[in-house]
Structure 1
């Protein structure tokens, strides 16, 4: 059966079908094919170099009456290449898979082409594009990466120039990247969409050399804008302080707690941006150390987390990282747990001197967990998927409200350790965390809003908000392990100090 090309219905191919480059690029395994090269002059040498540069194990038989010394010298290092010094005969193609004619005799080249066609062999005729079944185009080679360039035989010079540009533009280290991507691909076990996204993220760095100048300009321009904003605010505040006695009096009358918590909120949000956790436990521990009752401390943490988790949840929603079934299972029990925990902790606000050490024990445990995660080298084996999601959400919401943090470290870590997909687990936990923080905050405000030290809460909220835009950028330049070790030790130390202080007073 003979397959014919489709046409436009009139039996005549359209202009779009006949114009342009009609070549179909393929990559041949020359180490498994037998190539016969006729001609060993300057053109034959060029063809042989092209073959060996791209396939050092290529099996080639060279047939020629006259052989350049350079050809003999080149083949000395390739034992699989055979040189036969004689005139070409059509039977020389009986064992060939590919044919390359590189003689300076047009009649001989025509004879070689006719012999190849009779045997249904593909042939390349040097400097005669119309006689070629395939071209030996310009090749860019960087380790395992190869890029073939074709101008449809019209301009080898342009192909060579493009080859030079790509050789200069592509780094030699790209071969290492290919190997690492191959290793990454072998480890991916998710669905096709997840694999594509993971490989896209890993290969995004490949476009950086092309957009380097553009990216540098954007980064410089961005820093100029932020620097201008900061300097402008500093100038305005300095001028008001120097010229306006009312402003100076107002600032001096602001509760010092505001400034302490402003700086603390900024630092804790930066840490959270670097390691993806610990904002709740560090903020809660600091608040307890500064003398805030547990309920007020937890309320400040939850209020400051509403906006950050709302934005994060929205981004995960846009990226389709939400497991809606899991979200529904977590949301209602988590909200019930948060409201219950907030109500219980607020009801015991007058007994804060007794509840404070209990919360300090909890933050001590979280500090130990953070420290262990920092020094843990081996990955834990995943078990069966967690089935009692509602119970996990209820416990996570309750403990989070009582201790000021823990929803992420408890719920997220349990889901992932139980075999849930990390990406969908993270997105679902972040979105549900927004509602958990909102419900807990409303309960705290209704219960203890009139007795809360609002300057401390306001400072924590503003500090974390100011850190959010730059936390992600700073995170890539800081050692995650070092930060986690430091945070773990600080939380453990401050928690032990709080517990020791209670023990001394009580006993």
Structure 2
């Protein structure tokens, strides 16, 4: 009875203790045998976390159904072994650590009980109360690795702290770390003298305060560029009558689209969507025919999507098998949509209300997303018809001025595809679609409404350095509600004006 009493007293004491009671450790997964149970999206997330931090980890994955992305990973990681079968307690044989990542809570409970019976530590996905250990957000700079834990209370806070540390800690710190390691090997004397010497060398890390210029270099470059352009423009205005005459005679449409491009790029940076639909609605309201509006939108998107696609490629977020299936039908659809819309330029009075109805619908979609109104999923199967989806998405995007992300990305995620790989694949595909549809528009229409095109390109480029910061300062829900209402009102206006003309 005495041992039992002590355990109960200890449990009672533990319940009274407040705060984070986790003991941080760094595990050598490359020296252990890891079992991961689950081959869906949750299992993929856990697997990526494991392999990103320990590329030589010996992982045995057990699941009845296995994602294609996981099978692709297995080609690059020979120590990842996949067993496509149901879980059995014998799977715990010759295992050191366990990850349960299924969407079956009852099965997770069974796995946890079996693991504890064998004295194994286990992490159960999305169930903090069932976990023996958590996976924290990781900041990595070479050999330096920092793990962040919120005791399972808020993964979002951990993610934000990770972003702050990633930005604040210079990559060059790893060079310092390597130099310190080399210096440590050369030091002689007792332990106290070694510590004293190392403290002297590293004192600069905390005492070396950065100057104002070093701390604000990005903003200084931005402000310097703006001042240079302003000074050069003012000088030319005062000394070159031809330049002054050129600016005066530029169609005011350029300045409207310059401001619109800036605002819409800022909105897109804040909520990650709606550039196409807001620009399309604005272009129609400003009197641009649908084809010219779509041309302006796609040309202005080529650079931004190229950069975004490249970043996703560098981060390994592109599913190349999905990309190969998606890209050809998408390009065909986009070019066909651009060709048909350009051919109907003379009938823009009839095409404009159709585009207005489409943007009215997308405005409603934005409002639904703002209030998180979703249809309940009823055992969604992974989407199989990728090629037709790409064709339809590319066609509608070109023919109506936007919608590639809304149609294709949402369909892939709703159909069971991993969000991260879907986003990366859709972004890099979008670059090719925007490029080829722009070429089609330009070939068919020539340089019409160049003021709108150039205005959007310059305006969105000016917004890009600060657009990302907006997402941390303004409520995304507020912006989405405002954008949804404005888009719906502008689109409704186009439809009503068309109906009144018919009457």
TM-score by length of 1: 0.62
Residue 464 of structure 1 and its aligned partner are, at CA, apart by 1.2
Aligned: 1:144 with 2:100:
no
* Aligned partners of 1:385 and 1:419 also within 8 Å: yes
Within-5 A mapping of 1:13-92: none
Listed as ranges, the gaps of 5+ residues in structure 1 are 1-30, 35-54, 60-76, 79-140, 149-186
Structure 1 residues 215 and 349: alpha-carbon distance in aligned structure 2, compared to 1, 3 A threshold: farther
Within-5 A mapping of 1:3-14: none
C-alpha deviations, 1:43-73, integer Å up to 9, x for none? xxxxxxxxxxxx99669xxxxxxxxxxxxxx
Write the distance in 1 (CA, Å) between the matches of 2:360 and 2:19. 53
Residue equivalent to 1:133: none
Residue equivalent to 1:434: 431
* Aligned partners of 1:295 and 1:444 also within 8 Å: yes
Residue equivalent to 1:199: 137
C-alpha deviations, 1:408-455, integer Å up to 9, x for none? 0000001111111000000000011111111111111111115x2111
Aligned: 1:390 with 2:267:
no
| Secondary structure, counterpart of 1:200 in structure 2 | strand
Residue equivalent to 2:416: 419
Q: How many residues align?
A: 339
Write the distance in 2 (CA, Å) between the matches of 1:393 and 1:310. 18
Counterpart of 1:368 (choices 352, 364, 369) is 364
Counterpart of 2:222 (choices 211, 219, 226) is 226
Aligned: 1:485 with 2:468:
no
Residue 147 of structure 1 and its aligned partner are, at CA, apart by 6.9
* Aligned partners of 1:306 and 1:437 also within 8 Å: yes
Listed as ranges, the gaps of 5+ residues in structure 2 are 26-40, 53-135, 140-157, 170-205
Write the distance in 2 (CA, Å) between the matches of 1:227 and 1:422. 37
Structure 1 residues 505 and 264: alpha-carbon distance in aligned structure 2, compared to 1, 3 A threshold: same
Aligned: 1:265 with 2:272:
no
Residue equivalent to 1:151: none
Residue equivalent to 1:448: 445
Write the distance in 2 (CA, Å) between the matches of 1:290 and 1:393. 30
* Aligned partners of 2:367 and 2:480 also within 8 Å: yes
Residue equivalent to 2:464: 468
Structure 1 residues 416 and 290: alpha-carbon distance in aligned structure 2, compared to 1, 3 A threshold: same
Deviating above 6 A after TM superposition, structure 1's stretches of 4 or more consecutive aligned residues are 31-34, 212-217
Counterpart of 2:397 (choices 395, 400, 403) is 400
Residue equivalent to 1:503: 499
Write the distance in 2 (CA, Å) between the matches of 1:218 and 1:379. 49
C-alpha RMSD of matched pairs (Å):
3.1
| Secondary structure, counterpart of 2:216 in structure 1 | helix
* Aligned partners of 2:295 and 2:441 also within 8 Å: yes
Structure 1 residues 224 and 195: alpha-carbon distance in aligned structure 2, compared to 1, 3 A threshold: same
Residue 309 of structure 1 and its aligned partner are, at CA, apart by 0.7
Counterpart of 2:311 (choices 310, 315, 322) is 315
* Aligned partners of 1:266 and 1:464 also within 8 Å: yes
Structure 1 residues 144 and 235: alpha-carbon distance in aligned structure 2, compared to 1, 3 A threshold: same
Write the distance in 1 (CA, Å) between the matches of 2:43 and 2:211. 33
* Aligned partners of 1:267 and 1:467 also within 8 Å: yes
Write the distance in 2 (CA, Å) between the matches of 1:270 and 1:393. 28
